[in-house]
Structure 1
Amino acid sequence: MKNKLILMQKYSQQNHPTIKSIQIIEGKNNFPISWLNQQGYCEYQIYLEYMKGIKTPETKSMRKGTDIHNELEEKFIESATPATFDDVVEMSKSEATISRECFVISAEDGIRGFIDEIWMMPNEIVIIDDKPGTRAYPSTINQVRAYCLAFKNMTDDERPIKGALRERGTENIFWSEEFDENAEKEIRYKINRMHALLDGQKPFIATKNKNKCRPCRFSACCKECKL
């Protein structure tokens, strides 16, 4: 497979007046897809970090993840040739390609983000999100499903799309599924809930799991903490 560095597409946006990291695109709130992972862990984290603006130091695991991610990206760039998103999609219909940090966006669904790695092959598209460990949590599944949805909305491609989770820093894909109608329906439900939270239509709900509260970097300033 050929390594392709997909150039980020330009788009028109404005920052939300009060919520950090929210962009307004085509008149709709647009949030980072990674928030769906955070939402599945504890919705209240999003409220504290992005709506209240509470800042906390990076954890050791966060720093390690960033370092591994950067190393993989630098190694990939060494052998990758730049191309536009549309060109890579078209090229991959006859020749398999690999891309990292592929930016995807759906104005319709109000989501955007960077796919860790994507394999575009003549017979299928595989969208990979790297995670520590080898357990597929509902929150991490939600994140990769949203990447699949955004990619699907950016193309008229009829090739099947598969979402996958891979152990960070390895080639071990420990979970995968075809992005079918059921997966799309379930992730749209999660996305719509997120928009309802951001619009103030629903309250942010904190986790009731003490095991999630213990390592949480917001535990010292969270009034919902269960410890």
Structure 2
Amino acid sequence: MEQKNITGYEKEYETKDHPSIKGLQIIEGKNNFPISWLNQQGYCEYQLYLEYMKGIETKPTRAMTQGSRIHEELEDIFKQDATPSTFEDAVEASKQTATMSRECFVVAPKYGIRGYIDEIWMKPEEIVIIDDKPGRTPYESTMNQVRAYCLAYKDMTGDERKIKGALRERGTDNLFWIEVFTPEVEKSIKFTIERMHGLFEGTKPFIATKNPKKCRSCRFKNDCEHSK
């Protein structure tokens, strides 16, 4: 596959920071949250409240630090042989020749989501969107994260090729979960995204996990009234 380093986008959006929720942006007049928050939402919604609405700061975990380091190393290696390209040109070129890119930014103002895809394979017959995770267990939260990347990519491009979402064991070639982005999957992730927006708009409550194991390992446990 040809390697394309996405360096720009033809379309620009009006963007500003949300006045009270850290990390939330307002893009084209609509709240817009990072897709990675779906992973956190699946672990414990109350983490979102503590970190982004109350503004509680904690030190990154060892797993977070290690993950960031590996991402940076892979990105540096990729850029050495990649050809600079706009997002739109890379998508169009892939209809004839298979291409791949890393850290590909996608944004869907319509759905209020944005994020960076770890790796994307754009082939003439299909699109494969890959998110790297530690371990080999496909949790609902990590699957939802990939599904949202698929939704954002589809909304940005209108691409009619088959889209697949995949989870890969970090630092390996092992795709341990892969799923076709069907209309049913699309409907499901839209529902979850709408719940997220309800949390930030105050129309839905943040629900804390009832799993004591999650509480014991949570980096917010000293600041959480629900900690078990």
TM-score, with structure 2 as normaliser? 0.98
Match of 2:4 in 1: 4
Pick which of 5-14 and 32-41 moved more. 5-14
Distance in 2, matches of 1:152 and 1:61, equals 31
Unaligned runs of 5+ in 2: none
Offset at residue 7 of structure 1 (A)? 1.8
Selected match of 1:157 from 134, 156, 159: 159
| Contact 1:36-1:142 within 8 A present in 2 as well | yes
Residue matched to 1:188: 190
> Which letter does structure 2 place at the counterpart of 1:106?
A
**Equivalent residue runs for 1:201-216 within 5 Å:** 201-216=203-218
- Backbone CA RMSD of aligned residues: 0.7
> Would you say the 8 A contact 1:8–1:103 is kept in 2?
no
Counterpart residue number, 1:54 = 56
User: For the residues of structure 1 that align with 2:190 and 2:68, how far apart are their CA atoms?
Assistant: 28
- Which of 153, 177, 180 is 1:175 aligned to? 177
Q: State the alpha-carbon separation in 2 of the partners of residues 191 and 8 from structure 1.
A: 26
Structure 1 runs of 4+ aligned residues shifted over 4 Å read none
1:11 Cα deviation after fit: 2.7
Q: What do the CA deviations read for 1:91-140 (whole angstroms, capped 9, x no partner)? A: 00000001000000000000000000000000000000000000000000
Q: Which amino acid aligns with 1:147?
A: Y
Query: Pairwise mapping of residues 99-114 of structure 1 onto structure 2 (< 5 A)?
Result: 99-114=101-116
The offset of 1:156, in angstroms, is 2.1
From 50, 61, 74, the equivalent of 2:76 is: 74
1:10-89 equivalence runs, <5 A:
10-89=12-91
Supply the distance in 1 between the matched residues of 2:120 and 2:167 (Cα, whole angstroms).
11
* 3-state secondary structure, aligned to 1:7: strand
Q: How many residues end up aligned between the 2 structures?
A: 226
Task: Decide whether the 8 Å contact of 2:8 with 2:85 is kept in 1.
Answer: no
Give the SS at the match of 1:68: helix
In structure 1, the partner of 2:124 is: 122
